[in-house]
Chain A
Amino acid sequence: MKRAGPLLLLLLVAACAGPQSALSGAGSGSGRALLLTIVMTVGFTAVFALVLGLTALAIFGPQGWRERFGREGWVYGLGIAFPVVVIGALLLWGFAILGADEALADAEDPVRIEVTGERWWWRVTYLTDDGRRVESANELRVPVGRTVELALKSADVIHSFWLPAYAGKTDMIPGRTNTLRFVADEAGRVRGQCAEYCGGAHAFMAFWVEAMPEAAFEDWLEHEAGPPPETSFPDGETVFLSSGCGGCHAVRGTPGASGEIGPNLSHVGSRTSLGAGIMPNDREAFVRWVADHQEIKPENNMPPYDILNDEELAALGAYLEGLQ
């Protein structure tokens, strides 16, 4: 039993790590919020200990101490002045921290990305400096050290964009555009998810964000804006086009695949995860998704494709994986 306490603490601390932790402080805003949290926790723990100590003295202390505590000065000093000063200072500091990201609004040349919550996935559109709209889905890539400005929208119901490693939750409300700004301080991969119940498959609506060096990001965006390499799996492409997948999904540079209803699949094979952060992104996963997506993510808007046989599914999986 003696060792249970430290063990429990260890477990709690372990839960704080990981790609979706609000305590990682990997971004500008989240870093300051983390500092505020630590200062508050330590500071008020000290205040709590002080109050307990004084209370104990007032009850059990020597006669002299108890008499001294009876004076009114204590009430003015520790009862009124001390809280006003400490809490007031903390409030001002809190305001400053909350408002700090507003300064990002003046940042020159932010990376502009539109993120639209749809049931149950994320439509991600990069707005390039030369005015192009590059559509992708279910994953964000951002450059390290540069301000990222997200325009958050919803296509159906209220969602909430929550990327704890970098910033707080921001709701996505139909008919409105909310703006979220952050700076990723270091390269790495973090996870976010929808934080507002949006229907049956709400829990299966997550995403990955990869922060990468500026130059690598620019190269990546240029590649993302173009078509995928010519496919080595023409049979899979035929299944894709002849079965009507292109009516809802776009693959840049492929005539017949220009649908805008579902996620853009131009480079789907290069993403971290499939199905909005719920599956690995390999050939088997593509096959499993197409064959069983209504089991995996019930009531999602894609029609069931039970019409495909195993051979067609395998070809389709290979083709989709090849969309790099």
Chain B
Amino acid sequence: MRFRPPRPDSPKRVLGYLAGLVLFGIVGAIALAYTGLYNIAADHGHPPPVYWFLEVGMTRSIELHADNDEVPPPAAPGLARLGAGHFAGGCEYCHGKPGVPPDPISRRMLPMPPKLERASDHWTQGELAWILDHGIQASGMPAWPSQVRADEVWAVVAFLEELPNLSTAEYERMVAGNARLGARSADEITDWGEAEASLTGCARCHDTPDAPPVSTLVPRLGGQSRDYLLAALKQYHLGDRESGFMMPVAAALDAAQRSRLADYYAALETPPHEQAPPDEGAVARGEQLALFGDKDGMIPSCRSCHGEGARADYPKLDGQSADYLAQQLRLWQDGVHGRSEAGRIMATIAQRMSAEQVKDSAAYYASRPAFAPGGGTRQARADGAP
């Protein structure tokens, strides 16, 4: 028998074979889904090739999409403590805490949420920030509650950097923030459950009579105007004001609770932020802007809205932290804030401010004696002034 070389196929034919293969693949995939042959049960687990496929796909996708050149915002004092407050309420249930096995319910998720003590070894800061901001599809990992506050996830990244070094007790102390979470009695446990740090525990991040806010990025609330506090809580509740930290908290609070909290904080005496003394030049320039505005830049004086005799739904700024004030002004400049009625006023003005003016005005208000319940300042009260 004579050897007959296979006849070279025409290019047209090769294309035909390829199209057939693709069609076969599509039909096969549809058949797999439609027949229900693949077992989707979480307790069944993935077959090793599928596991490999998903794991590699996820890792490569994160590495590709995360921006490692993105410069994290300069670390504000207490940044990791702020992240800790959110972690305990938002992440701990699935990811567990140091020295304690994860919750039996979350352990039955597939994929099982990883313990995060190794997260900062495994991922770069940019990758962690990306995962926190965007979440991971079909894994149970949600995206950040506010999709326009990528700045906030860095607090959680900072906390994840510290997590590997924390003992159980240190972790508990850190996530409690300013809240006094003591052991509960049997009665309390039967009614309320264990003293878990709930997201809605304001004192985990905000000020108490004994302590300032845990971070300079967290506003001081004690003595703030009641109407402003109520409006802010309502805006967070409705999603009109953006914050991945505050939106889940306020979403859980009904109108009566919000009103009680506003009353409570408006009457609360609390110590001011612990923050580095502001630059004197910045304070002087900020004072000029706060008292007289900038006519050429069409910026009215800050005090025309944030001074004596201002509306009750305008916030008091005296003694607020510079980091927080500057951050809020930048959010108005970036168009993140400005959906509420009052926010639209401030957005117009903030967008006329230069980066320098933002820093200067924040430094000036941070340098002022801190506001107190009613009117006046804490200092004036200590001096016995009426």
Which residues of A are interface residues toward B (Cβ below 8 A)?
A: 241-248, 256, 259-261, 301, 303-307
A301-B309 in contact given A246-B304, A261-B293 (Cβ < 8 Å): no
Q: Which 10 A-B pairs have the closest CB atoms?
A: A247-B304, A247-B300, A244-B305, A303-B348, A307-B341, A306-B341, A303-B345, A244-B304, A242-B311, A248-B300
In the complex, which residue of chain A has the Cβ closest to the Cβ of B308? A256
Report if A243-B311 is in contact (Cβ < 8 Å); known contacts: A303-B348, A303-B349, A307-B345.
yes
List the count of A-B residue pairs having beta carbons below 8 Å apart.
54
7 A-B pairs within 8 Å (CB atoms) are namely A243-B305, A246-B304, A247-B293, A259-B293, A261-B298, A301-B298, A303-B344
Of chain A, the residue at the smallest CB distance from B344 is A304
Cβ contact within 8 Å between B342 and A247: no
Q: How far, in angstroms, from A242 to B301 measured CA to CA in the complex?
A: 13
**Chain B contacts of A261 at CB under 8 A?**
293, 295, 298-300
- A244 contacts which chain B residues (CB < 8 A)? 300, 304-305, 310-311, 314, 345
How far apart are the CA atoms of A260 and B300 in the complex, in Å?
8
Starting from the known contacts A243-B305, A248-B304, A301-B298, 17 additional A-B residue pairs (CB-CB under 8 Å) come to A241-B309, A242-B314, A244-B310, A245-B304, A246-B304, A248-B300, A256-B304, A259-B301, A261-B293, A261-B298, A261-B299, A301-B348, A303-B346, A304-B344, A305-B345, A307-B311, A307-B342
Residues on B lying within 8 angstroms of A by beta carbon are 293, 295, 298-301, 304-305, 309-311, 313-314, 341-342, 344-349
Query: In the docked arrangement, what's the CA distance between A305 and B340, Å?
Result: 11
Complex contacts, A242 vs chain B, CB 8 Å: 309-311, 314
Q: Is the CB of B305 within 8 A of A304?
A: no
Bound-state Cα–Cα, A51 to B146, Å = 81
Cα separation A246 to B311 with both chains bound (whole Å): 13
- Give Cα A282–Cα B348 distance, bound, in whole angstroms: 27
Q: Which residues of A contact B347 (CB under 8 A)?
A: 303
A260 CA to B295 CA, complexed, in Å:
7
Chain A residues whose CB sits within 8 angstroms of the CB of B311 once the complex forms: 242-244, 307
Instruction: Give the chain B neighbours of A304 by CB distance below 8 A.
Output: 344-345, 348
- For B295, the chain A residues whose CB sits under 8 A away are 260-261
With A and B bound together, what is the CA distance between A246 and B308 in angstroms?
13
Give the Cβ gap from B53 to chain A, nearest Cβ, in Å.
Answer: 53
Q: How far is the CA of A259 from the CA of B305 in the complex (A)?
A: 12
* The one of B300, B309, B341, B344 that contacts A259, using a Cβ cutoff of 8 Å: B300
Of all chain B residues, which has the CB nearest A303? Answer: B348
Q: Give A256 to B305 CA distance when docked, in angstroms.
A: 10
Which residues of the other chain, A, contact B298 by a CB distance below 8 angstroms?
Answer: 261, 301
CA separation between A154 and B293, bound complex, in Å? 21
Identify the closest chain A residue to B296 (Cβ). Answer: A155
